[in-house]
Amino acid sequence: MEQLINESIDLNTLFNKPPITSYGFTRLLFAKLSILGQQIVTRDTIVKRVYALSQKEEYKELLDDIGFRVFIDSVSSQELEDGISSLQTFGMIGKINPTFEKVIIFITDDMANTIIGEYDKNISRIMDDFVSDFMKIEG
C-alpha cells in the first residue's frame, strides 16, 4: 500500500512553493511593462496573451501558479484577475471607466526597479523575454 501511495503522489511537487506566485507574476509583469514605457494595456488582451505564451516551454516556470479556463472563443484566469484587482487596490494600476477596458500602469521607474529587485535574476531574465514576446502578440 505504501508503495502505491509513493508512486501516485509526488509530495515534493505537492508541497513545493512555485518559483513565483500568481500575484508576483502579475506584479512583475506590470513592473517590466512600465520600465519599457508601456503605460496602457487593453485589459481583455492581458489574459489572452499570457495564455498564448503559457504554451511555450521556456515560460512554464513563470506560470506554475496560474490556471486558465479555455472556452470556445475566450480564455480566463482567476489568478490573473485577482492579481490585477490587487494591483488596483494598491494603486499600482487603474482601470478606465465605465467598461474598465483599459488598464493604466501607475508604477514609477523607482517602484518598478524595487519590484524587479525582489525576484531571482533568473526569473527576471525569463520575464524580460516573456514581456518582449507579450508585446509582440497582436490584439
Q: What is the pLDDT of residues 63-79, one digit of tens each?
A: 999 999 999 888 999 99
Length of the chain, in residues = 139
> DSSP assignment of the chain, as one string?
-HHHHHHH--HHHHHPPPSS-HHHHHHHHHHHHHHTT--EEEHHHHHHHHHHHHTSGGGTTTTTT---EE-SS-EE-HHHHHHHHHHHHTTSEEE-TTTT-EEEE---HHHHHHHHHTS-HHHHHHHHHHHHHHHHS--
Quote the pTM value.
0.85
Does residue 5 or residue 108 have the better pLDDT? Answer: 108
Tell me: the pLDDT tens digits for 39-62? Answer: 999 988 899 999 999 999 999 999
Q: Which residue has the cell 505564451?
A: 53
Q: Is the pLDDT of residue 2 over 70?
A: no
Report the mean per-residue pLDDT for the chain. Answer: 88
Structurally, the chain folds into a number of domains equal to 1
Write out the residue range of the structural domain in which residue 62 sits.
2-136
Q: Is the pLDDT of residue 1 over 50?
A: no
Cell of 122: 533568473
